Structure 1
Amino acid sequence: MDEFWVFGYGSLMWNPGFATHRRMPARLAGYHRSLCVYSHVHRGTAHKPGLVLGLDRGGFCEGVALAARVKDEEEILAYLRGRELVTRVYRELVLPVRLSSGENVPAITYVVDHAHEQYAGKLDLDHAAELVRGGHGQSGANRDYLLNTVDHLREMKINDAALETIAGLLKNEQPRPVRKDGL
């Protein structure tokens, strides 16, 4: 085979950052998409964390399988590890995903590490929206990350009720009045 696969369930779906020659809807069994990782780098800081997605145990996750050329594997893996493993909150695993064609392929996945200090677990949706609203890191605003992900999930006809609720909370927020002291 002259290709290898990467499973995207969040920003990798809409911003993989590497050349792909095929992309297909795919399903990963045994894990689900969850807004369960405090972001200290890309969408927040250690002092004001954002909140990003992780693959957490149980259920299944619909996303996208990205195929890249084996000749580019070393370069792509270096890129992905620099992006996804920056604080080691994820574990890199190769897991089987089912492509929309029915074929099962091994895919590189990034699964959240429950023992890591950045693992947030299941949060109240209002609290999650508050973290997303205030998060900003090296890759930009946490709000943009979440809304871009929700938009892409909608395009793929993937329903994620929790993310839809948080997106609704973010979109319906009223502008905050500016205080006279500028704060």
Structure 2
Amino acid sequence: MPSRLVVLVSGAGTNLEALLEACEQAGYGAEVVAVGADRDGIEGLERARRRDVPTFVVPLADFATRESWDDALAAAVAAHEPDLVVLAGFMKLVGPAFLARFGGRTLNTHPALSPAFPGMHGPRDALEYGVKVTGATLFVVDAGVDTGAIVAQTVVPVEDDDTTASLHERIKHAERAMLVDTVGRMAREGFRLDGRRVRLGG
């Protein structure tokens, strides 16, 4: 049976689209069983609906506390019984209730080579620092910000004429390929956490 993926999005869903396309290929080893979001009216949800993939929305504004939202998000995801949860441009931090259910099997990407340049502005910070290479990181989500165990990384050279926008665009392209390739391997081969190391192959 293919691994069950729940993908969470907040915007256009280009990484989601890449995963949906990959899941249509024979032998990929995974299927997207639901797509969730923290707001409605976004292209990411429409990408799922066009393929008849179930969707759900859990807006933070509907809850009195961050903790109650986190509980509700965890319950909404759990209803689809995922093997893996992929945060694909999901712009909210998940909390303790979510990690209690899905810790160790929730993935996110960061547009830098962790542990360098964490936070919202990885490409800009890398460019301003003057590094010659940067890239993207796929990691297992933990309670920190971009601090989880690293599953995979991909390197992107920094060109002399790069702007933040041009560098970020190349990073996103490399990130997408890394995400699709690695999620497929995790689904087909299995994986385990060994301290801060993620070992593919069960």
TM-score (norm 1): 0.26
Which is richer in helix?
2
* TM-score (ref. length: structure 2): 0.24
Higher strand share: 1
